[in-house]
Amino acid sequence: MDFTKTALGIELGSTRIKAVLIDEKHIPIASGDFEWENQLVNGVWTYSMDMVHKGIQTCFANLKADVKAKFGVELTTVGAIGVSAMMHGYLPFDKDGKQLAEFRTWRNTITGEAAEKLTNLFGFNIPQRWSIAHLYQAMLNGEEHVKDIAYLTTLAGYIHWRLTGEKVMGVGEASGMFPIDSTKCDYDVTMLQKFNTLTGVDLRAILPKVLPAGTRGGTLTEAGARLLDPTGALKPGIPVAPCEGDAGTGMAATNSVRVRTGNVSAGTSDFAMIVTDKPLGVHREIDMVTTPDGLPVAMVHCNNCTSDINAWVNLFFEFCELMDIETNKGELFTKLFQKALEGDPDCGGLLSFNYFSGEGVTDLDEGRPFFARTPDAKFTLANFMRAHILSALATLKIGLDILTRTEHVEIDKLYGHGGFFKTPEVGQRMLSAAVGAPVSVMETAGEGGPYGMALLAAYMLWKREGESLPDYLDSKVFADAKSMTLMADERDVEGFNSFLSRYKKALPMEKCATQVL
């Protein structure tokens, strides 16, 4: 096996860091991972940098072990590397590279004042999780560290900087820091000037340089190789693609980078990305970001998706252990998801809110997961699981309805990917019921972001002169890809709408729960 003819994608997701190595045919040949969780420290959702370093090192070590087991050799080089991570958030550094504040993740809803003021200033929706909202909120708060910021980046941007020494990032990731002008594939100049006038801060001096997919983002340095592989086996000099966010890698992984295509990524959070060819109005529920090659994308992002489902499955797993029933969590997830297909289309009157944290789409700064039912509701296991699965998609549907009904955005293709779709048919059918359109899931759907990042690294490495990213993906990657397309029946669609109607009416209960619990 010639490992110089491979591409490696590493993604730091919300609950798992995963590496996927692909060959020249863009087929995954090895992988490694590391499980982790964010922590709520002094009211801030964060990950420590020590855990970040430990996580990528453990993930890479597990990848090396997988390569050793499959090919009988030690992995010392690859053709190209790309790193992606959860978009948005706040990681400020001083001129000496010292971290100035805790890493504030996308999950935080602590920048409401800044987000509202910047949205009004720019005439462009600035969500609370965007890096610029975090920066401006820190200014409004009078935080001491702000005056010392020499570099502001994201988690992916930080890892890329450590691996290459380059303060750059892909345009898709940059579009979650500050608004992008798609015609120039760079930060919007007019908005940069407005921020400068407002604050006196020249953002160009502290933000990463923006690069489109296909360009070289740097080279793995000696220090970078040691960070990734402390054993010293990994050699420096490997080309590194511009880092991307999980939204961009999801688009690449599902071949959803052309206009009027879209994808839904569903895991700890869920978001829908629809590539559009027209300007949209300003909606608090809709982000405007970009594809990895700079096209405008309407994004509905929800902070909460599967965390509450995971918690309930863990409870059922405890019950199995109590009863000496042999099972594993993977099998338990599959059986419980499949059971949901037997439930009533509207969940029999059961209701669930999956809010572990605040949710911008429904204007909640905090979350409290809860389950509710009326005395005469059909309280069955099938309805219980279906209620939690529909709850995981409910907020996403509220945002998508704005795109399709208010803005009349047309969608030709919609792909699903991420852990929510690992059980065949179930998540796919529920999403189809939510959007009222066919949903396709590819065989690689479970690979998700790290696979998409590996594809972007491969594009940088192997594209022909002048070959666009959509053309590369169509002809080189997905020409023979196997996928399954499913359309929910009318009963499922009507059932979801009925569930959502109850869900919306019950939102004051969720608001009250944040005040009393």
The confidence band for 444, taking pLDDT boundaries of 50, 70 and 90, is low
What count of Cα atoms within 13 Å lies in the side-chain half-sphere of residue 18? 22
Average pLDDT over residues 203-227: 98
Asked if 94 and 20 touch (Cβ cutoff 8 Å), the reply is no
- Region 226-233 average pLDDT: 98
Q: pLDDT tens digits, residue range 47-99? A: 999 999 999 999 999 999 999 999 999 999 999 999 999 999 999 999 999 99
Q: Which of 308, 305, 312 shows the shortest CA–CA distance to 266?
A: 305
Kindly report whether the global pTM for this prediction surpasses the value 0.75: yes
Which tokens sit at 53? Answer: 């370093």
- Statement: residue 445 has pLDDT above 60: no
pLDDT at 409: 87
The pLDDT value given to residue 260: 86
* CA pair distance 97, 509, nearest whole angstrom: 45
For 181-208, how does the pLDDT look when each residue is reduced to its tens digit (9 = 90+)?
999 999 999 999 999 999 999 999 999 9
**Measured CA angle at 490 (ends 298, 265), to 5 deg:** 30
3-state DSSP helix/strand/coil percent for the chain, to nearest 5?
A: 40, 20, 40
Greater confidence (14 vs 502) lies with 502
Whether the CB-CB separation of 390 and 308 falls below 8 Å is answered with no
What mean pLDDT is reported for the chain?
A: 94
Encoded tokens for 119: 């949205």
Please give the share of the chain, as a percent, with pLDDT higher than 70.
99
Handedness of CA 247, 253, 259, 260 (dihedral sign): negative
pLDDT of residue 360: 82
In sign, the C-alpha dihedral spanning 81, 449, 487, 397 is negative
**Phi and psi at residue 287, to the nearest 5°:** -95, 145
**Tens digits of residue pLDDT in 352-402:** 999 999 998 898 989 999 999 999 999 999 999 999 999 999 999 999 999
CB distance 360 to 274 below 8 Å: no
Q: How far is CA 418 from CA 47, 256, 268, in A?
A: 21, 14, 9
Residues 6+ apart with CB under 8 A from 409: 274, 276, 280, 298, 403
Measured CA to CA, the distance from residue 415 to residue 446 in angstroms comes to 12
The confidence band for 281, taking pLDDT boundaries of 50, 70 and 90, is confident
Other Cβ atoms less than 10 A from the Cβ of 82: the count is 33
pLDDT at 254: 87
Among the listed ranges 111-125, 220-234, 251-265, which one has the minimum average pLDDT value? 251-265
pLDDT at 447: 63
pLDDT at 446: 56
Say which amino acid occupies 299.
M
φ, ψ (nearest 5 deg) of residue 122: -90, -20
Domains, the chain, ordered by start: 3-254+446-477 (3.30.420.40), 307-444+487-516 (3.30.420.40)
Hey, which residues does 351 pair with through a beta bridge? Answer: 372
Q: Across residues 7-14, what is the average pLDDT? A: 96
Instruction: Tell me which residue of 46, 291, 76 sits closest to 182, measured CA to CA.
Output: 291
Compute CA distances 21 → 67, 180, 242, 351, 454, whole Å.
Answer: 9, 31, 17, 41, 7
